Structure 1
Amino acid sequence: MSLKLEWSNEQDVFEIEPAFIAKLEELLRIAGQEEGVTDGEVALTFVDDERIHELNRDYRGIDRPTDVLSFAMRESGEDEIRIVFGDEDEYEVVEEPLEGEAEAEEEADEDDFAEPLGDIIISVPRAIAQSEEYGHSVQRELGFLFVHGFLHLLGYDHDGEDQEKAMFGKQEAILQKAGLTR
């Protein structure tokens, strides 16, 4: 298994090219190596300001657009919704697989399934504005926001000065390794 990026595009102000997706996959691989995360799936969605505003309001209670949102699947705090699946005893096996068939199916399922790490939502108009403000490429800003979101999925935060310094230092090192410099 490995880290896997699934992405979708819900905006039309910036063309998301295959070469850029390859760069994001490289960033994911580097960030995973740096953090000791070798398996899992990250879902990335590019949106407009209206959509990220809606998500920020509905899920964080902040009634304004933002640049990036992360929704971790591994979180398990007091305020998190607990998902409960039915008892396995409720299911009845109808047909027994032939000898060796079960192992092959199980192996194929393991190869196809990657544990979801979470969702990252990026506002492309915000990234474009920030890239102009900071004087670097849109790709660099989108890469920065992607790595920022990924680190949030792993539990990093930047509430305090020390946390911010550590998180932003990690982000910059990952971007440098991928060649996305300012």
Structure 2
Amino acid sequence: MEILISDRQKDVPVDLTLLKRLARFVLTLEGVDPAVELSVTLVDEGEIRELNLRFRGVDEPTDVLSFPLLEEIAKEPPALAESPPLLGDVIISPQVARKQVKKYGHSLEEEIALLLVHGILHLLGYDHEISADDKIMRTKEKSILNKFFSSRPGEK
């Protein structure tokens, strides 16, 4: 399983190793084929605002965007693929995440971890447009994060 992480912002220090471990943890937990690749990109507030406007028509910064590239999540990779299929891209703005920390009452690391899990779940087909789906997705996010952080004794 290839997790490609690119940090195109320099304002907020982010533990890229933690993000890679968390992404791998989520995909493994969700039973995604190990041959799948995932791209995670950290961008500044201006860039995520531009992406949000371009792809969603919303002219304001957001915390996370997901761009799925596989229509169906295969349990097995395509037979004749020359390279692993790319599940999709998750774009996160650590600057926006930093602004949300006080509002939600947790650490910056936890906020960025939540955004990564949220973005990956979108790539896997989860949604939160209607109330019932929102509850399912939020419950899944909490469960994944609890399992991940509890597997790191002494760390938070």
- Same fold per superposition (TM over 0.5): yes
CA distance in 2, matches of 1:75, 1:63: 27
Q: Deviations over 1:100-151 (max 9, x none)?
A: xxxxxx9xx96xx321000111111110011122121111111100010001
SS at match of 1:43: strand
Q: Deviations over 1:15-42 (max 9, x none)?
A: 23xxx22222222222123321032111
Which one of 48, 54, 58 corresponds to residue 52 of structure 1?
48
Q: Deviations over 1:137-182 (max 9, x none)?
A: 1111111000100011111110111101111111111111111798
**Any conservation in 1 of the 2:40–2:90 contact (CA below 8 Å)?**
yes
Residue 169 (1) aligns with residue 139 (2): yes
Which one of 69, 72, 75 corresponds to residue 68 of structure 2?
72
Code of the aligned partner of 2:30: E
| Superposition TM-score, scaled by structure 1 size | 0.72
Aligned residues: 144
User: Which runs of structure 2 are paired with 1:150-169 in the superposition (5 Å)?
Assistant: 150-169=120-139
What's the counterpart of residue 97 of structure 1?
A: none
Which is greater in Rg? Answer: 1
What's the counterpart of residue 106 of structure 2?
A: 136
Quote the RMSD (CA, aligned, Å).
2.2
Code of the aligned partner of 1:148: H
What's the counterpart of residue 120 of structure 1?
A: 90
List runs of 5+ in structure 1 lacking aligned partners: 77-105
User: Which runs of structure 2 are paired with 1:6-85 in the superposition (5 Å)?
Assistant: 6-16=4-14, 20-39=15-34, 40-75=36-71
Q: Deviations over 1:66-115 (max 9, x none)?
A: 11000000138xxxxxxxxxxxxxxxxxxxxxxxxxxxxx9xx96xx321
SS at match of 1:178: helix
Seq. identity, %: 41
Could you say which structure has the greater relative contact order, defined with CA pairs below 8 angstroms and 6 or more residues apart?
Answer: 1
